[in-house]
Chains A and B, each alone.
Chain A
Amino acid sequence: MTAMQKLLQLPVNAVNMVKTVQSQVQGQEEDKSPVLTPDSGQQAWYSALQPDELRHLRSGGTGGGGGGGGDQEERAPLEEGGGGGGFQTQPLRHDDLKEMLDSNKDSLKLEAMKRIVAMIARGKNASDLFPAVVKNVACKNIEVKKLVYVYLVRYAEEQQDLALLSISTFQRGLKDPNQLIRASALRVLSSIRVTIIVPIMMLAIKEAASDMSPYVRKTAAHAIPKLYSLDPEQKDQLIEVIEKLLADKTTLVAGSVVMAFEEVCPERIDLIHKNYRKLCNLLIDVEEWGQVVIINMLTRYARTQFLNPNINESLLEEGGSGDKTFYGSDEDEDEDEEEKEKKAEAAAMAKRKPYVMDPDHRLLLRNTKPLLQSRNAAVVMAVAQLYFHLAPKAEVGVIAKALVRLLRSHSEVQYVVLQNVATMSIKRRGMFEPYLKSFYIRSTDPTQIKVLKLEVLTNLANETNISTILREFQTYIKSMDKDFVAATIQAIGRCATNISEVRDTCLNGLVQLLSNRDELVVAESVVVIKKLLQMQPEKHSDIIKHMAKLTDNIQVPMARASILWLIGEYCEHVPKIAPDVLRKMAKSFTNEEDIVKLQIINLAAKLYLTNSKQTKLLTQYVLNLAKYDQNYDIRDRARFIRQLIVPTEKSGALSKYAKKLFLALKPAPILESPFKDRDHFQLGSLSHLLNAKAGGYQELPDWPEAAPDPSVRNVEVPEWTKCSSREKRKEKKVEKPFYTDSEGESGPTESADSESDSASGSESSSGSEESGSGSESEESKEASESEEEEEEEEEEQKKKKKKDLKKPVQESESEQSSEEEERKHQRKSKPRKSESESESDEDEESESESSQSESEDSESEAEVKKKKKVQTRTAEPKPPPKPLKKESKKEKKEMSLLDLDDFEPAPSPQVTPVNTFLSNSLVTDLEGLSLSDSVLSPATIAPSSTLKSYELLHRITGEGLSVEYCFSRQPFSPDANMVAVQMQFTNNASSDTKNLHIEDVKLQSGMRVKEFPEIELLPAGETATAVMGIDFCDSTQAANFQLCTHTRKFFVSIQPPVGELMRPVFLTENEFKKEQGQLMGMNEITEKLTLDVKCRNEHAIVQRVTTAANLSRVPCGSDKECRFAGRTVTSGSLVLVTVATKEEGAAQLTVNCEKMVIGTMLVKDILQALTQ
């Protein structure tokens, strides 16, 4: 009968069984004599389970009888376990229980179930109650039901057929509207280990995997390994479900599904590609246990997909260690050479191709780092192993502190952590050196912890700290825990071998220990001394002499034996003493312990071979004594040695080689850590701890030689960001070798180590480059074709510039940016003009100002034209940076040289605001990627074309000097926490203004200002621009300072509108919702409003909001909602804005921000922007 056929028959059977059970219930009730009931009206299937008296007879029987034949094997241990007098009364109790279960009262049922569960907990068999319990599976009372489930899961495997009775209840439960009931039904159903229901389980899992409730989906993920262990043939179908669940976007499911993945199909690493970035980003919000599983899995994943960040260093390292293998045989050396060549080649390759960390690799490292602060030791360990296996060497150090923290936890935790630290400290000693004292041993530590700490201390020992460590060791030697003392002596021995400076000190210390009373200590010391002396015996004949003297005092047999061995082995170094020792020993031979006697024979033999003149008689005497010893071992040895060393006519060819046999050079033992090379196991794993592969262990793969295609991780994104950023980027790199070349100088090693937030390194440079272009096109949202052309032109120029190598890179860059600023400026003023024409209320500025700006416009246009001309003449030197531009045009030749000197060494703030858009900020790589994605869809990103200018200094009060400022919305590259303020100085006076600079800055606490570089000369009628940075500390407090010229000082102040205190960030719709969900309550401000008539379409809303605040648009499915996101510049708090439109211009504005003051002010500003 196949499983399916059985299944089809099930309903009939089940119905019958239920009937019988019911009839019996009735019978019992009528009978009202529970004690007698088991005997009355028994059915065939039922008799197999009952009554208890029968159990004794049946135990050990076949157990196959009847449909519900219980597993009899289970009974045998049970009867022992039951133990005590309670067992005798049990049969009766079971009848009680059955009666209670059959009653109508829930309270009685509950009481019975509680007692049954208590039996299970104590390991007593309760399987005979199965039929009585299983009926209650449909019980309405939740408490009873829960306990029935507990019972069912425990015994279903033993009573498969009966268990089928419950299935229909669960199937009903799977359809329940309540998600908790659905989940619990699936949980129990999948826990019932009955093979017949595999198809039902499969179906249930598949359905639950697409359930609306994430909790049910999580349960489905949990059910997958259960089904897999029940029937491995379902693997393929289960993998489909796993694939589906892996795509799930909730944190609740993520951990569970990865666990299922690890148990069912850990080899299918390809399933992870598409979900990699999502998993990285979700990680911090996943529950702790899921984090552990995900991190471990991602470690393996990263090892298959990314390049070794330490490629250059590890090659060097290995090259170094190659020299160390001189212990090996000659053949090995040949191989080594070949290997070395290979390595050298590889190294050369690596040098040619500088290592660039994959942004996804970086993403993983960055997103796991905060978890080092987790309270869960397993999570911390998981992150630590991830860093150890994946991070560039320079970054691994961060894990040390967290691991040391775990050492203050429970001793079991310490035990595991220390094992891992021991392995790590061999590879990366420097990492733990600052925490040396944390590994000091307390007398209350359990021995195993002590030994591990000792191991770590030994690994950490070096020339500088060895004296401290040895002093510490001296304390340990006095400990009462003798195993620990022995381990300490071993440790001293290892320190002595590793650090030649202290070898003598250690030896002397150990020699002193030889007089210790404790046999173990002495034996251990002698053994260690022996090992140390073997390394360079010729140097230490005095120690051997000293030890020879000790034979008079030391009584510990093991120590005596070791000393004798030493003297025998190095008898040539102590030619005078050795025979004398033998003489003494011969005297006391009969009183010695066996091991000592054996060594006396050895000593005698060796001396006979080297110095037969003096010792011939002594040897014969000893051998004669041994010949009559009680111990047969000693007698045998004596006979054997006599044959070997004393030549007789019978003795064969062997005696010729006696000297070779006895005095062969014995190799010095290598004292090395048992933890050496244990890191080929993934750290933190059970296999690592046992130093043996545990079942189900997944090998940590080696790094690939070349990185597999990274585009597999690209996720298909909604229409608006369809274009692959990666390809774009590559193109750009090809287009602009300019950047890569200049950065390339910083070299491969640096780039390998560079952190994302450091501006150096090719990774960040490429990021900045891309974002630079991003912000550029953001600016030019109007996207006029002419501008694009301009850009191309620029590109060409750059190339030309590159050829024209006379100019240093920085200058050309700065110059370019200043050009850009200028263009921007021009652009900015244009729309303003047009706006003021169309909308009168927008025109807030004073008349004089607008007229001024108009004149300015024409002026700057002219300027640009001029400049273009200049640019096209490539042979000519480039005009110098902005502030002095006018001047430089007039006196080009001389000034350009001068500028070089002035501006080269200290790049001014206005240099490169565009190019380093992201490099300093904390925006993640991923965000960086998506930013560039969104660049290609101008509609999604807010236009910031209309920058508002504010007056800083009026022409009249400024005595001819007028200053305007605007918030350029560019990141301020010298300090990411500052808001860039672009100032435009116009000299309307008839005389030149000199030495324009800032003085006497008065700020609220916490605020900071980065001044613009002094403008030396502003000729009459000219205009200059400069950028300064202000850190407003996320407040709208004004920054007050004095603007000074060579003649005057003006008190001025800059007060930012709240919208300028933020910078745009890119969020996806989901991220937005998630973040918004976390910023509820006090952090949320909602206002109703009526939109201005001109502002009823999406475009207008977007434009007005982004004008009011420096935010970026968040893509959104619905056209009724516009969302915007940003972060405050100083603290990086999220600012989320939602404008939901309704009919007839009604709308609702929601602002979510942790900083409530900013939120409130922002609401006011946006409200105004949208209603007017």
Chain B
Amino acid sequence: MIHSLFLINHLGDIFLEKHWKSVISRSVCDYFFEAREKAVDPENVPPVLQTPHHYLISIYRGKLFFLSVIQTEVPPLFVIEFLHRVADTFQDYFGGCSESVISDNVVIVYELLEEMLDNGFPLATESNVLKEMIRPPNILRSVVNTLTGTTVSAEIQGVIEACVKLSGMPDLTMSFMNPRLLDDVSFHPCVRFRRWESERILSFIPPDGNFTLMTYHISSQNLVAIPVYVKQSISFFEAGSCGRLDITIGPKQTMGKTVEDLKVTVHMPKAVLNANLTASQGNYTYDFTTKLLVWDIGKLNPQKLPNLRGSLSMQTGVPNPEENPSLNIDLKIQQLAISGLKVSRLDMYGETYKPFKGVKYVTKAGKFQVRT
């Protein structure tokens, strides 16, 4: 299956290699570098590449490429999913997945890789199997709702992330006040599927540490209440080779909670040279090489709505962009799951001690785009 793995940084240096079968020369990566050159953004590199003797399957995570070399037929998703699992494991172990972190822990990384694959076939990929951990009786879980919406379509997807630190073999059951909201779910393998089917209860013996218990999707019939509204106008003038920008954001259906970590990102057209703006709240930056305008607002104050306005200077002689850029909005609302999903109770069986239980609801904007 997976023959070799190369870790490549954003500069195109191979800083780690591991082979599970006989050694393959790193020159095989040249095909990848070629494709990397061709694609402007690293995201645009095709995940699957064909070379005369090998197939290269790669993922891009945290500014690193995880490039695996394959020789024979294998489901591509199998490899992709595995590579992401490797990245997740690094994240879990070292709290990050950057080149420096991996280089600092190269021996552990190597040992991990050795355990995760045998002859190219996944062996142990569960974080808790790989990890030995102290288990204080403590459980904290958070329901993170991710909201994805545009004026065109909106949907809610969410995950339940669990952090379990319980000793022994606790058997947990978690029930929801309104499981009917859930349209499509997928589970961590520890969840007993039949129990969910029959009773809509999550019953499981948790692994230790952090893991994603469940991801779900809210049925589209339920209208998504988008928590903020955006008023924007961006215009470019042919004559003065300049443009105007005016963005205001206001709260809408936040159920009394504060919107935090509000951030607007605009990918400006190539012709925009610089931006001369004033923000009523927060800071803005404009990177003229990447053409990225980032407006970091922070908390949304409903009394005084944040506003960003000013002029854009344009390259002269270049025709105006015919399309206005779309706005990407990030936000977070603590203590609120916009899906309305509520955890009803969490019970523990099989152990006698009393665990600490807690639940945290968070709403985050997923890919919230405002077309202009």
Using CB atoms and an 8 Å cutoff, list the residues of chain A in contact with chain B. 74, 77, 81, 114, 117-118, 120-123, 146-147, 149-150, 154, 157, 187, 190-191, 193, 219, 222-223, 225-226, 229, 256, 259, 284, 287-289, 292, 296, 370, 373-378, 380-382, 401-402, 404-405, 408, 410-413, 415-417, 437-438, 440, 442-444, 446-448, 472, 475, 478-480, 516-517, 684-687, 689-690, 692, 694-698, 1078, 1080-1083, 1131-1133, 1154
Contacts and interface: CB of A to CB of B under 8 A. Distances in A.
A117 B185 CA distance: 42
A415 B186 CA distance: 20
Given A405-B184, A440-B152, A444-B328, A416 B77 contact: yes
A737 B177 CA distance: 52
Contacts of B82: 289, 378
A1082 B169 CA distance: 11
Interface of B: 1, 14-19, 21-23, 25-27, 41, 43-44, 46-48, 50, 55, 58-60, 70-78, 80-82, 84, 106-107, 109-111, 114, 118-119, 121-123, 125, 148, 150, 152-153, 155, 157, 169, 171, 183-189, 192-195, 197-199, 203, 212, 215, 217, 220, 267, 269-270, 319, 321-323, 325-326, 328, 349-350, 367, 369, 371
A121 B109 contact: yes
A313 B119 CA distance: 44
A356 to B, nearest CB: 27
Given A289-B122, A437-B153, A480-B269, A686 B106 contact: no
A373 B80 contact: no
Contacts of A404: 184
A123 B17 contact: yes
A768 B43 CA distance: 56
A517 B319 contact: yes
A231 to B, nearest CB: 14
Contact of A117 (B110, B118, B157, B193): B110
Given A370-B193, A413-B81, 14 more contacts: A121-B16, A122-B16, A150-B110, A157-B23, A191-B118, A287-B122, A373-B187, A375-B188, A378-B78, A408-B157, A410-B84, A444-B367, A696-B72, A1081-B171
A118 B106 contact: yes
A667 B120 CA distance: 50
Contacts of A405: 184, 186, 215, 217
A443 B369 contact: yes
Contacts of A123: 14, 17, 26
Contacts of A417: 77
Contact of A694 (B46, B55, B326): B55
Contact of B74 (A444, A686, A692): A686
B186 A1082 contact: no
Contacts of A444: 328, 367, 369
Given A117-B110, A120-B110, A187-B118, A193 B22 contact: yes
A250 to B, nearest CB: 16
A381 B81 CA distance: 11
Nearest to B369: A442
B71 A695 contact: yes
B184 A147 contact: no
B325 to A, nearest CB: 8
Nearest to B123: A222
B269 to A, nearest CB: 6
B267 A698 contact: no
A694 B72 contact: yes
- The residue among B14, B25, B50, B107 with the most chain A CB atoms within 10 A of its own CB is B107
Contacts of B70: 686
B110 to A, nearest CB: 5
B184 A478 contact: no
30 contacts: A121-B17, A121-B110, A122-B106, A123-B26, A193-B22, A223-B119, A288-B125, A289-B78, A370-B193, A373-B187, A374-B186, A375-B187, A377-B80, A378-B82, A405-B215, A408-B148, A412-B80, A416-B48, A416-B76, A475-B371, A478-B322, A479-B323, A480-B323, A517-B322, A684-B75, A687-B73, A695-B73, A1080-B350, A1081-B171, A1083-B349
B107 A446 contact: no
Contacts of B118: 187, 191, 219, 222
A694 B82 CA distance: 20
Contact of B59 (A117, A412, A689): A412
B121 A289 contact: yes
Contacts, number: 222
Nearest to A223: B119
A1081 B41 contact: no
Contact of A1082 (B44, B157, B171, B189): B171
Contact of B44 (A287, A401, A438, A448): A448
A150 B21 contact: no
A147 B110 CA distance: 9
| 10 A-B pairs closest in CB distance | A696-B72, A1081-B350, A1082-B349, A478-B323, A697-B73, A412-B47, A289-B122, A378-B78, A378-B77, A446-B43
A256 B171 contact: no
Contacts of B184: 401-402, 404-405
A287 B122 CA distance: 10
Contacts of A411: 43, 47, 60
Nearest to A284: B193
Given A410-B59, A444-B328, A1081-B349, A686 B47 contact: no
A480 B271 CA distance: 11
B119 A378 contact: no
Given A222-B118, A443-B369, A1081 B78 contact: no
Contacts of B169: 1080-1081
Contacts of A410: 59, 80, 84
Contacts of A448: 44, 46
A661 B203 CA distance: 76
A377 B119 contact: no
Contacts of B21: 193, 229
Contact of B187 (A150, A222, A374): A374
Nearest to B193: A370
A791 B109 CA distance: 71
A692 B119 CA distance: 25
A375 B186 contact: yes
B59 A686 contact: no
A813 B360 CA distance: 59
A1132 B192 CA distance: 14
Nearest to A697: B73
Contacts of B75: 292, 296, 378, 381-382, 684-686
A416 B80 contact: yes
A375 B326 contact: no
A510 B44 CA distance: 28
